[in-house]
A and B are shown apart, each in its own frame.
Chain A
Amino acid sequence: MKLAIAKEARLNERRVVILPKELKSIAAKHQVLVERDLGQGVGVANQEYERVGATVVSKTEVYACPLVVRIKEPIEAELKLMRPGSCIFSMMHLRSRPHLVSLLKRYKVSAISMEDIRDQFGTRVIEALHETGYLGMMKGFELWGKEPARAVVKIMGYGNVAQGAIQAAARKFAKVIVLNKRDINVMEKHIPGTDILVDGIYWPYHLRGKAYLVTRKMLKLFKPGAVIVDLVANPAGKSPIETVHPTTLADISYKTDGVLHAACWGWPGFDPVGVSQRYSLQVSTVLRQITKKGLTNLPEPIKKAYFEVKP
């Protein structure tokens, strides 16, 4: 099987989906192309990929491959380079991105969504959820600008992402209060006195865009200088916080009504080295399974994450 590893192309994005060490056993059995300067952001040279048996090629050649692997979903210009009938293996979040679905259909490209691959207990196999919360919280402190130990941090939600934020905030000695479902129903009571509000809740699809937990009006209840950190980065208007829209690594925050908002699409990008290592270990395991049997014969957990578009 021929596969290619693509470079993340977003501004300030330094992560790489797979490192030479983990690529080695795959390249031993399959033809592997890697995009030039793939590992630049984490200090891995092209030669290191070549040494484990991969071939360094241009972006065009990478996307012309039957299986393209990267972390973040490709943009249209990249999908355009792909051949009909080929497959992209990356984070996709197709349910909240109807536009991406129509692009896949237009260019006749199938997808294996990394976030949908789960083990026998329903746990995600490729994830940096804890890291998302952890790194988002740390960035939140930075944006707040004062001593974290003096912050009152309120965290909406208590899932995997939220738990990362809880740990980061507690390590920094902040006062940490976890808001439960009853609390998030009456945010006007909980916003006063909050220095950093963290949104780590999974906001159900049927509520997205229809209702908000924190409305624009409530922003005035915040203390001056307060920060909202949205760890989930739902598409604009689909967050439980009315005024939140996704930001990027290059430009993570904006101010609305005196409150700083940060909702980075890809928080783990702030720890490129650590997170690349993590993903590399997780992705290589799955990639070995994909290449072993081919796309027509995927094991059940991967098949569940497979969005097939017939050429």
Chain B
Amino acid sequence: MKIGVAAENRPLEKRVALQPEELKSIAKNHQVFVEAGAGLSLGIIDAEYIAVGCKIAPREKVYAADLVIRIKEPNHSEVKLMKPHSILMSMMHLRCEPELERNLVKQKIIAIPLENIKNSIGKRIVEAVMDCGRIGVDFGFKLWGKDPAKAKVKIMGYGNISRGAVQEAARKLAHVEVLNRKHFEEMEKHLPGTDILVDAVNRPFRRAVKHELPFVTREMLKLLKPGSVIIDLVSNPVGHAPVETMKPTTLKDPYFVLDGIYHTSLWGWPAMDPEKISKRYSMQIAPLVKVIAARGLDGAPPPIKNAVIRLDRGEKVV
């Protein structure tokens, strides 16, 4: 099986899905093409990939492999480079990315969204969920600019994403309050006195709805002190965020100020801690790649099989 490891190419993105150490045992038995310069931002030079038996290749060749791996979803022109019926392994979040879905369907791609690979007790195998909350809150503290120990942090939501946020805020000695569903309905009561509002609400994305009803409206922003920070850990698409004025931001431009309030909603928070996250993902992804390469999709264990979406055969995203 030919395996392609693509470079992440969004501005300021430094991560790479697989590092030489983890590729070593895979490259022994399979042809691995690594996009030129893929690890450079982390200080991994092409020679290190070559040393473990990988080949350095231009982008066209990497995307023409049987199995293409990267962290973030590819863009349209990259999808077009892929062979029909080849496999793409990356984060996809297809539910809120209908355009990506259309591109993949058109190109007849077998999708394995990394976020859908779960072990027998339902835990994601490739994840940095706790880190996501930690990194988001840390960036929020940075924007706020004062001593985190003086911050009053309110965290909406209490799922996995919220956990990292609670932990980090408490570690930094902030005052932490967790807001529940009932509180969401009356945010005007909970905003006054809040320095940092963290949105970690996991609302299922509904494609049919253009504008979800927000919990925090633009009108309510004036209840926050100027210079307060709102962090969206989920990076909801515009119109779907529980905070009306929120929209996804990028590494290059990670925040904006509206009505005196900092807004930040990075599409892929873990990217802000590239070294640690890249290594983590590499360790999590490598065993999956190894088993797919060895046994093919049909012989893959249930966590992988269950995540496969045969977009090439008309299977739909649910």
Which A residues lie at the B interface, using CB under 8 A?
120-121, 149, 158-159, 163, 166-167, 169-171, 173-182, 278, 281-282
Contact = CB atoms under 8 A, between A and B. Distances in A.
29 contacts: A121-B280, A121-B283, A149-B182, A158-B170, A158-B176, A159-B167, A163-B166, A163-B167, A166-B158, A166-B166, A166-B178, A169-B178, A170-B158, A170-B178, A171-B180, A173-B182, A175-B177, A176-B178, A176-B180, A177-B175, A177-B177, A178-B169, A178-B177, A179-B170, A180-B174, A180-B176, A182-B173, A278-B121, A281-B120
Contacts, number: 61
Contacts of A177: 175-178
Given A180-B174, A181-B173, A278-B121, A173 B180 contact: yes
B314 interface: no
Contacts of A175: 177
A163 B149 CA distance: 20
Contacts of A178: 166, 169-170, 176-178
A182 B159 CA distance: 25
A85 to B, nearest CB: 33
B181 interface: yes
Contact of A173 (B177, B181, B280): B181
B163 interface: yes
Nearest to A177: B177
Contacts of B171: 158, 180-181
Contacts of A149: 182
Contacts of A179: 170
Contacts of A171: 158, 180
A167 B158 CA distance: 5
A54 B203 CA distance: 45
Contact of A167 (B159, B174, B283): B159
A134 to B, nearest CB: 11
A149 B176 CA distance: 18
Contacts of A158: 166-167, 170-171, 176
User: Shortest 10 CB-CB distances between A and B: which pairs?
Assistant: A170-B158, A178-B176, A176-B178, A170-B180, A180-B170, A158-B170, A281-B120, A158-B167, A167-B158, A173-B182
Contacts of B174: 180
Contacts of A166: 158, 163, 166, 178
Contacts of B163: 163, 166
Q: Which of B158, B169, B179, B283 has the most CB of A within 10 A?
A: B158
Contact of A174 (B121, B166, B175, B180): B180
A182 B166 CA distance: 15
Nearest to B159: A167
A193 to B, nearest CB: 13
